Amino acid sequence: MKFAKFCELVTTIWANKINQRRDPEVTILIHSPGSIGATPSVEVESIQAGFDWDAGQVLIYPAQPLTTLTPEQVADITTSVRKGQSWHAYEAYKKHKAAMEAAAIEYAKVAGQRDELLTALEGLSAACDNQ
C-alpha cells in the first residue's frame, strides 16, 4: 500500500464522528484461526519514515514482535485448529518424531558396526584357534 492511500483511508476513518469521540487504538491484525471474541491484533508502538536501505518506506513498529510464517505453517496451524488441536503441540510432536527417526538411523549404524566387529572378532578367534 502506498502512503497516500494509507492517509486517504485514515482520513475516511477519522471523518466518522464516532471514531473522533473514542480516539481508536491503531493495531495490526494477526492471523489466529479459531480465536473467539475481538479480532486478534497487536498494538502499534510507533511509525517512522525509513532511511538508508529503508528509504521510500513508512515503517510501522508493533508493540510486540511479529514473525513471518511459511504458507505450510499457516496451513498446519489452520488444520490443527480445525481439529481442536494445538499447533504448538503439533510442532513439538514433529520435533520429537524427527529426533526419534534420527536416533533410529544412528542405532542402525551402530548395530551394523557391532555386527561387523563381532564377525571380525569371530574370524580372528578362529584364526587363533587354528594355530
Decide if pLDDT at 64 tops 70. yes
Nearest-angstrom CA–CA distance, 88 and 120: 48
pLDDT in tens, 85-120: 776 777 778 888 899 999 998 988 888 888 888 888
Distance in angstroms (rounded) separating the CA atoms of residues 96 and 101: 9
Tally of residues, the chain? 131
pLDDT at 126 over 70: yes
pTM of the predicted model as reported, rounded to 2 decimal places: 0.50
What is the overall mean pLDDT for the chain?
Answer: 85
Which positions ≥6 away from 66 have C-beta within 8 Å? 28, 30, 42
Q: What are the pLDDT digits (tens) for 50-62?
A: 999 999 999 999 9
Residue with the three cell numbers 513498529: 61
Higher-pLDDT residue of 70, 50 = 50
